[in-house]
Amino acid sequence: MATPVARRRGRRERGQALVEFSLALIPFLFLLMGTIDLGRGIYTNNGVAQAAREIARVTSVHQCTGPCSSATWSAETLAVVNTQKNLVPGLANSGITIDCTDMADATVTVAAGAFCPADDFIRVTATVSFSVITPLLPVPKPMAFSSIAHVQTTQVKP
C-alpha cells in the first residue's frame, strides 16, 4: 500500500509528463509538417520540369498549325497536356506556353496554317503556383515553380 506522500508524487509526475509531452509535441508537429511541405515542393518542381519536357517532345513531332495557343494544339499535344495536368497539382492550360524559337532563343513568328521551320526549336514553359500548408514558415505564399524545355524540330509537316 502506497503512503499518501507517494500517491501525491505519482499524480504530480503524471501531470509533469503531460506538460512535457505537450511542449514537445508542438515542435515535432511543426517539423513534420515542414518535411511534408518540402516533399510536396520537390514533387511539384520535378513534375513541372517533366511536364515541360513531355509537352515539348510531343509538340516537336505533332506541331501546332500557326501560332501555338490552347486552341491550336494538336490532339497528341492536348492528350499529353491533360495527362500532365492529372499528374502535377495546379497545372492548367493557362500555365503552359508553347513557342517556336531559333538557335538564339528568339521567338519565331509562325504564319497561320504553317509549322515551326525545320531545325528550329519548340520551347515549352510550364508554370505552377505552390503554397505551403505549414503555418509560420518564412516562405512567400504562393510561390511559382516554372520550367522551360527546348526540343529541336527535325521535320516540317507537309
With a pLDDT cut of 90, the percent of the chain lying above it is 54
The residues spanned by each domain of the chain are 4-152
- Rounded to two decimals, what is the model's pTM? 0.80
* Range scoring the smallest mean pLDDT among 12-16, 19-23, 40-44, 59-63: 12-16
pLDDT digits (tens, 9 = 90+) for 54-104: 999 999 999 887 788 888 899 999 999 999 999 999 999 999 999 999 999
In the Cβ-directed half-sphere of 65, how many Cα atoms lie within 13 Å?
5
Please report the DSSP string for 67-132 in residue order: S--TTT--HHHHHHHHHHHHHSTT--GGGEEEEEE-TT-PBPP--TT--PPTT-EEEEEEEEEE--
